[in-house]
Every structure is written in structure tokens, then in C-alpha cells.
Structure 1
Amino acid sequence: MPGKLQKKAADPVIAEDLADFKVGVDNVIFSVDTEQNRLLVLLVMRPESPFIGAWSLPGTLVRCGESLEDAAYRVLSEKIRVNNLYLEQLYTFGDPHRDPREAASAFGVRYLSVSYFALVRFADAELIADGVSGIAWYPLSRVPKLAFDHNQILTYGCQRLRNKLEYSPVAFDVLPEQFTLGDLYQLYMTVLGEDFSDYSNFRTRLLKLGFLQDTGHKTSRGAGRPASLYRFDPEAFEALKDKPMVFI
């Protein structure tokens, strides 16, 4: 019929065109050095090709019969010892040629990376150097060129961390059980930048939300007057968990 769009038949799927995938996990493990006010990411030096000797995110290929989450936790357990750990899936990276092993494969193997995002308490974290040439916390401002597309994965992880501060209590995973409002404010400035909010506005809005419990104790630091110590109240936060944090 004239003028009517003709639906184009889909090209048939040819077996030779289907990619054979290997799946890996790469972990973006963050921590905050609250004493020096630095946002840190854990990097390891690759002991083998490709990118031998280059810094990368901790990662591994998924084993037969192993879930993605189990692989992510396996990598964590091989690189770091920590009591409290926040972990969630971040994103899947699968651009062609993201891994040079694809070009060397005679069978068209593709390499996917399912990335995970973790946040650990700096004071409690013990690094494990087994099986790697080097392992270190890097300040975000000093991260070098990483292997594969790990700089891109890290950038995505940083954005996720900043977004989570707006609607979740993830900040309290890296603070001690009792903290001052100044400690909390400094953590937010370290992650979000110094211009996100002034302290007075931050303090006023935060206390109105009602999920911080005054312990009745104070701490003295330097010549200033003692500061009140607070703790996070997860039950009080329940009513706010689906709302943006208005003090950001």
C-alpha cells in the first residue's frame, strides 16, 4: 500500500556472531581518612598481564558455580580485613575491546566487568598484600592512570558515593559509634567538596531531622569548648529513608 511503512525483517541470528563472554568483578572500595580529611580508594598493582605492574581496582574473574556477589566478597576477603562492610552492585561495563585479551582471543571472547561499590571504616581496615605486587590506599586526587577501564569505573563509583550521601545513612558506616557534628560535617566536606553547605546551616537542618541521638557526653579537642557526642539512631531514620537528605 503506497505511503505505508514497511516493517523490515530482523536479520537472522548467526551462531558465529554471538559473543562468548567471560565475566569479572571489579570492586571500588572507598574509605575516608577522617584525621587527614581525605577520600581514599583501594588500589592494587597487577602481578600479571595484561597491564602487568599497573595499578588497578581489586578484581577477579568469576569462577564456575560462583555468584557475582560471592566473587565480589572473595576479592574483598583476599585484599582487606574489616569488621563492618557496606557493599552493593554498581554497574556493568562491557564496551568492546575494554580488555586487550579480547584481541588476542581466536574465539571472539569478550570480557565484562560487573563492578561493586564498597565503603569501609579506615581505622578498622587491615590491608592484605598476598598475591599482589603492591596494595595501597590512594587519595582520590592522586589516582594514576589505571589498567583497563578502571578510571571510568572509579568515576562512576565516586558519583554513586556522593549520591548515596543524599538519601542514605552510609556516612555513619565510616564514623565511630559516637561522633561530633563537626566530625560528620568534615566527612561530608571531604566527599562532596567544601562548598556543599556552611556548618551552621548543616547543623540546624540535621538536628531537625531527628535521627541523631545526643549521648549526653562531650569531648574536648584543642582550645575550643567541649563538643557534644552523638550517635546515629537507625529506627528514627526509617521514616526518612526514601526522602532526599535536605541538608545536602
Structure 2
Amino acid sequence: MTKSDPSLVNSKVLADFKVGVDNVIFSVDTKQNRLLVLLSKRKDEPFSGEWGLPGTLVRQGESLEGAAYRILAEKIEAKNLYLEQLYTFGGPNRDPRESPHSFGVRYLSVSYFALVRYEEAQLIPDQFNNTTWYIIEKVPQLAFDHNQILEYGYRRLRNKLEYSPIAFDVLPELFTLSDLYQFYETILGTNFADYSNFRNRLLKLGFLLDTEIKVSRGAGRPASLYRFDPVAFAPLKDKPMVFI
């Protein structure tokens, strides 16, 4: 453990904080089996010209969630979207604008993670074209501690799939079991579960309703369209989903 400066720890001087919001915006591209994250190139110092997570300082009278949604609205348009608060990153000196030996302004980052489907998420163009999707495995070194925030968000996303219905906030209202399997596979990897076991387990859990509507996609038998039933899912809330 790194020793703190006793003069700083024992001081009664209160820190002066600025609060920012940084969004880890994931996009699921099931057609190409890619998980993407949205990055923005910074225009201002510190880290001018380097990639980072889309972020902002919270404005006067603005809620944290409001700032998170403002970032989303400035960067993408999406029909179906999931958003939740991730974590607060506030270690000393996480921002180069802080002075390690004075009681200047400290910068907190309240992070959020969002999830959208790639085919539904349209980037909002700006004059600098400073925003783009990066494949999760090819993310470069980011500004500030944004690699750490991204890693934390990625773990949260994978864990959330085990016990929460976040996939159904992002998928269309009607979907096939193959659509759902591909969604999970894109995020968790190709070996996360056998399709037959995945299908059988889901149907036994009873929160997917067969609409009795069939859809044809190329060769093979038509597939059934299902709908998520939140009432049937309620007893399973916060319980690990063993089909993962």
C-alpha cells in the first residue's frame, strides 16, 4: 500500500471538488460478432488529441443522470438503450490539473455505462469527426484513468447479463432465440454456452412468451418470435442466471 503524505491526510482543509460524468457506451454488433465502445478524441488539454470516454462536467442545477443522458444525446441516436450508474472514480491526482502538494480543485468522475445495438445507434456527426466506435479488444491507451473505467464497465456489463434482463432493454420487442443467443455470444464470447442448452434453459425459466409469429431468414425452418415478460421474470430478479 502506498503511504499517504501525513500533512495531507491530517489536514482539516476540505477538498474543493469538480464533478464530471464519463460514459462507457457499449454497442453490440451481432452481425459481425463485435462488442464496440464509443470513444471521443479530446480537443482540449489535458490530453488534447488523445482518445477518451465521452464525458462532461456537471452543469449548475443538472443531475448526474441528466449529464449522462446529455452526453448520449450529443453523441448518438438510439431507439432502445440501457443506462445505469457504474462507479465513482475519485482518487487523488487522477487528473493532471490537480496539484499533488496543494489543496486545489479535485476532479471526481461519476461513470455510467450504456448499452445499445450497433445497427440502431447512429453517430451524431460533428465538424471534427472526433467520435468513433472501437472494437473492445483494440482500444488504445486512453486519457486520464479511462482504461480503468472501461475495464470496470466491461466487467459490470458481463456480470449484469447473468442476473438482469438488460438484453431485453436493447433488443427489439420481438426477437428469435437465435437473436438472443447471438447477443449474449457477442458480449460473453463464443464458448459461453451451448445453444441447445441455452435455449432449453431459457424456455424452462418461463419469462419468454411465444407470440406464435414465425419469421423466415434464409434457408431452414421459420423461427418463432418471442417477447420478454417482466412479470414472469420478477421472481427471478437478482438471482444468478445459471444458463450463463
> Is TM (by shorter chain) over 0.5?
yes
Provide the C-alpha distance between the structure 2 equivalents of 1:14 and 1:182, rounded to a whole number of angstroms. Answer: 59
Aligned ranges for residues 28-43 of structure 1 at < 5 Å? 28-43=24-39
Residues 31, 174 of structure 1: 8 Å contact kept: no
Residues 1:225 and 2:221 aligned together: yes
Structure showing greater radius of gyration is: 1
Cross-structure match for 2:5: none
| SS across alignment from 1:102 | coil
Q: How many residues align?
A: 236
Which segment is superposed worse, 207-216 or 101-110? 101-110
Cross-structure match for 2:185: 189
Aligned ranges for residues 121-140 of structure 1 at < 5 Å? 121-130=117-126, 133-140=129-136
| SS across alignment from 2:98 | helix
* Letter of the structure 1 residue corresponding to residue 190 of structure 2: E
Residues 87, 117 of structure 1: 8 Å contact kept: yes
Following TM superposition, by how much is the alpha carbon of 1:89 offset from its aligned partner in structure 2, in angstroms?
A: 0.8
Aligned ranges for residues 1-248 of structure 1 at < 5 Å? 13-15=11-13, 18-103=14-99, 108-130=104-126, 133-248=129-244
Following TM superposition, by how much is the alpha carbon of 1:224 offset from its aligned partner in structure 2, in angstroms?
A: 2.4
Residues 29, 186 of structure 2: 8 Å contact kept: no
Provide the C-alpha distance between the structure 2 equivalents of 1:60 and 1:206, rounded to a whole number of angstroms. Answer: 40
**TM-score normalized with structure 1 length:** 0.88
**TM-score normalized with structure 2 length:** 0.89
* Letter of the structure 2 residue corresponding to residue 179 of structure 1: F
| Runs of 4 or more above 6 Å deviation | none
Residues 143-182 of structure 1: per-residue CA shift (max 9 Å, x gap): 1111111010000001111111011111112222222111
Following TM superposition, by how much is the alpha carbon of 1:104 offset from its aligned partner in structure 2, in angstroms?
A: 9.2
Which 5+ residue runs of structure 2 have no aligned equivalent?
A: 1-8
Which segment is superposed worse, 193-202 or 234-243? 234-243
Q: Percent identity?
A: 73
Following TM superposition, by how much is the alpha carbon of 1:12 offset from its aligned partner in structure 2, in angstroms?
A: 6.3
Task: Indicate the RMSD between aligned Cα atoms, in angstroms.
Answer: 2.0
Q: 1:102 to 1:36 in 2, by over 3 A?
A: same
